[in-house]
Amino acid sequence: MAILVTGGAGYIGSHTCVELLDAGYDVVVLDNLSNSSEKSLERVEALTGKKVKFYKGNILDRDILNTIFTKESIESCIHFAGLKAVGESVAKPWEYYENNIAGTLTLVDVMRQNDCKNIIFSSSATVYGDPAEIPITEECPKGQCTNPYGWTKSMLEQILMDIQKADKEWNVILLRYFNPIGAHKSGIMGENPNGIPNNLMPYITQVAVGKLKELGVFGNDYDTPDGTGVRDYIHVVDLANGHVKALKKLEENVGLGIYNLGTGRGCSVMELVKNFEEANGIKIPYVIKERRPGDIATCYCDPAKAKRELGWEAQYGIREMCEDSWRWQKNNPNGYEE
């Protein structure tokens, strides 16, 4: 039996493939490579010494999905595939709703036709909107999203919950990721953003490697200890391991499970910069800019439920996240491109 990993060539997906293979699972990846490179999967194979069965294709394509379910013996699906750029989603809402929502509906339909009713879905802290409580527990009410990307996550959570409610054969786990950063310790796998990065850590590493001149810090007048935005950064390998634990839970016929995956510790923009500088001995020039529209001041979770019910807890701290992000960027200044 194998695990279908949609979006498995991407940042979080490729790191999860390593942990799944190391845990003894067979892995089948479906990815259209719209935001990734097949090279990430070669690196997964090099690291694990195991094969990944790769299908290049779209989750909107029923034919390829049917081919996979006919040829492979799929027991569960970890569903990463989706578009994720917040700003782009504001400019191209239709493309985001089509890809993320229609794509997931197609996937789930083919899954049920093939009697595979186990899914882990990549959700996000963004579903909490401007959170009603800090630290954020899973009980915290969902909030207003500020962009179509966020709404796709919030709506897909609802869709998957409704499907599970109507058909108890489904097992659905929604994993709400906080801010994944870092890279595999080997330095041969990591985040590979297209163009100028939107997110903080890839921006920092590209300043460090000399591709960008300086970091813009989006606001230093928030109601936080140093005025800059506070987030719950989580090492991507910890996040990947969270999926292995969630899969074990799925195998117990959990029904519905919702879990925050974060460290539970808030870290400001300036703290992350300082940690990066100290961990790697590199200065990161920065300028203070206006607040970025849609940003919130503080977002970190209470990860106790994942610890209690999944037996999962983050192992790595900010320092290791900074070292590992830099090792990847330094060794691969152009990501997976030669």
Specify the amino acid at residue 228: T
Q: Hey, CA dihedral for 198, 199, 200, 201, is it positive or negative?
A: negative
Site string for ligand UFG, 158-197 (x = CB under 6 A): -------------------xxx------------------
Q: Which does 2 bind (CB under 5 to 8 A by kind): ligand NAD, ligand UFG, none?
A: none
Q: Which does 28 bind (CB under 5 to 8 A by kind): ligand NAD, ligand UFG, none?
A: none
303 lies in the site for ligand NAD, by CB under 6 A? no
Are the CB atoms for 3 and 27 separated by under 8 Å?
Answer: yes
Instruction: Considering the complex, state which of residue 144 and residue 210 has its C-beta at the smaller distance from ligand NAD.
Output: 144
- Tokens found for residue 132: 């009603």
Instruction: Please state the closest distance from residue 158 (CB atom) to ligand UFG, in A.
Output: 17
Strand, helix or coil for residue 92: coil
- Sequence-distant (6+) residues with CB within 8 A of 181 are 191, 199, 200, 201, 233, 234, 235, 236, 321, 325
Q: Which does 328 bind (CB under 5 to 8 A by kind): ligand UFG, ligand NAD, none?
A: none
Q: Which of 39, 43, 84, 249 binds ligand NAD (CB under 6 A)?
A: 84
Tokens 């504001």 found at: 90
Q: Hey, CA dihedral for 122, 127, 132, 134, is it positive or negative?
A: positive
74-79 and 2-6 beta bridge pairing: parallel
Site string for ligand NAD, 150-189 (x = CB under 6 A): ---------------------------x-xx---------
Helices (H), the chain: 11-22, 39-48, 62-71, 86-91, 93-96, 103-113, 148-166, 200-208, 236-251, 269-280, 304-310, 318-331
Instruction: Please state the closest distance from residue 299 (CB atom) to ligand UFG, in A.
Output: 6
Q: Which of 27, 41, 78, 86 binds ligand UFG (CB under 6 A)?
A: 86
Q: Which does 59 bind (CB under 5 to 8 A by kind): ligand NAD, ligand UFG, none?
A: ligand NAD
Q: Looking at 7-15, 72-80, 94-102, 121-129, which segment touches ligand UFG (CB under 6 A)?
A: 121-129
Give the distance between the most distant pair of CA atoms in the chain.
Answer: 56
Active site includes 149?
Answer: yes
Q: Which residues are catalytic?
A: 149
Q: Which residues bind ligand UFG (CB under 6 A)?
A: 84, 86, 124-126, 177-179, 198-200, 203, 215-218, 229, 231, 269, 292, 295
